[in-house]
Amino acid sequence: MNAVGQAKAQLSSQRLQNQPKSGFVETDRLAELSNRIRAYLRASIPVHLRGPAGCGKTSIAMHVASSLGRPISMVVGDKNMTTADLVGAKSGYQTTRVVDNFVNSVTKVEENAIQGWQDHRLTVACREGHTFIYDEFNRSPASANNVFLGVLEERVLILPAHNKREEYLKVHPNFTLILTSNPLEYAGTHAVQDALADRMITIELDHQDRETEIDITLARSGVSRGLAERIVDFVRAYRSSGAYEQTPTMRASIMIAKIVEAGALELTMRDPLIEKICADVLQARCGGGKDAGLREARSNFMTELARHHFDGAPRPIFAGETARLSRPDDPSAGAAAPEITAIGGMA
């Protein structure tokens, strides 16, 4: 490692030692992002964190919310979400029965039944000034999220007509809103209505940079920095290859590092257990559908890539996408399997 690399490693070690006990690893880049989000929230402007799975949206939202020093309310969007799930709903009946037997020969009985009301998390947050985290809010239908329009613009929460206690609620000045969404999900999501998107600041997130992923893997697993670098570089190289159907995220690095640390294992593909660990963590992401040749090519590429990063073997080049297994009409006809080539001396 050169002098610049050593200096960066020392700075990273110092940052990790100074991290709060919450478990969130705040690198310089994440600290700058957190400061921006806090500035927007202090101005009562909601923040929408949008990015792929594994980029840290929810962790950043919870970290920033905790740093504000206010109570936190949190919900997770889903396709069955309704306005009642956010605001509140009827909750049974309260019955009162009075028996009047003042005159022995006359008995008077009065019964009254009043339907109860239960505030849900958004109502509580608006009334008491909580920080409200709405995770994966684009999984909920627009009809459920329309209630936020009045909350964000007029600072008024309109309550359902059957709530007899009050028709609307003035939003507490300390109420703040953080939303997260994953626009890359292909199922179970809804388009964000323009009226709602226009009332918030959307910050596009992507996978973290190399140093941040190393710092987070290091903090979450306890492995040495050298091992964390090799594991992260392997997963990042696999992510860059495109030889998969489901993108490998930083969580894969953390899983491998945790297993290696817990078992005091040597990080080498010469150990069959390490090869199995990598396969178990990542092989399901390879995909390939019914194309057995493509699945095998992707899996073999992932294994060879691990050998390159863990043992210094030549770096493989994935050629499976251009050499898909072709099945002619004659099932007895042979077909060439997708290739994996290796070029030595590449970083």
Residue range 167-177, pLDDT digits in tens:
889 999 999 99
Reported as a single tens digit per residue, the pLDDT across 76-97 is: 999 999 998 999 876 655 666 6
**Spelled out in words, what is the top-level CATH class assigned to the domain 20-89+117-204?**
alpha beta
Question: What confidence category does residue 186 fall into, taking pLDDT thresholds of 50, 70 and 90?
Answer: low
Is the pLDDT reported for residue 22 higher than 80? no
Share of the chain above pLDDT 90, in %: 56
Residues of the chain above pLDDT 70, percent: 76
Average pLDDT along the chain:
82
Q: What share of the chain is helix, strand, coil (3-state, %, to 5)?
A: 45, 20, 40
Most confident of 18-22, 29-33, 199-203: 199-203
- pLDDT at position 322 is 44
Give the mean model confidence (pLDDT) for residues 3-25.
51
Answer with the residue of higher pLDDT: 308 or 115. 308
pLDDT at 23: 67
Measured torsion, CA atoms of residues 316, 321, 325, 329, in degrees rounded to the nearest 10: -170
For the chain, report the end-to-end CA distance as a whole number of angstroms.
Answer: 14
Q: What is the mean pLDDT of residues 106-125?
A: 74
Task: Tell me the pairing of strands 108-119 and 340-343.
Answer: unpaired
Of 265, 248, 225, 229, nearest to 301 by C-alpha is: 248
Burial string for 203-239 (b: 16+ CB within 10 Å, else e) reads bebebbeebbbbbbbbbbbebebebbbbbbbbbbbbb
What pLDDT band is residue 113 in, cutting at 50, 70 and 90?
Answer: low
- Domain assignments of the chain as residue spans, ordered by start: 20-89+117-204, 210-325+337-343
**CB neighbour list of residue 94: distance below 8 Å, 6 or more residues apart:** 113, 114, 115, 116
Comparison of pLDDT for 191 and 69, the residue scoring more: 69
Write the pLDDT tens digit of every residue in 294-303.
888 999 999 9
Query: What gap in Å lies between CA 57 and CA 63, rounded to an integer?
Result: 10
Distances, alpha carbon 298 to alpha carbons 62, 108, 226, 316, 347, in Å? 36, 82, 27, 11, 20
Token readout for 318 is 């994935």
Residue 168 has a pLDDT of 85
* Lowest model confidence (mean pLDDT) among 12-26, 52-66, 86-100, 291-305: 12-26
Q: Decide if pLDDT at 336 tops 50.
A: no
Average pLDDT over residues 197-202: 94
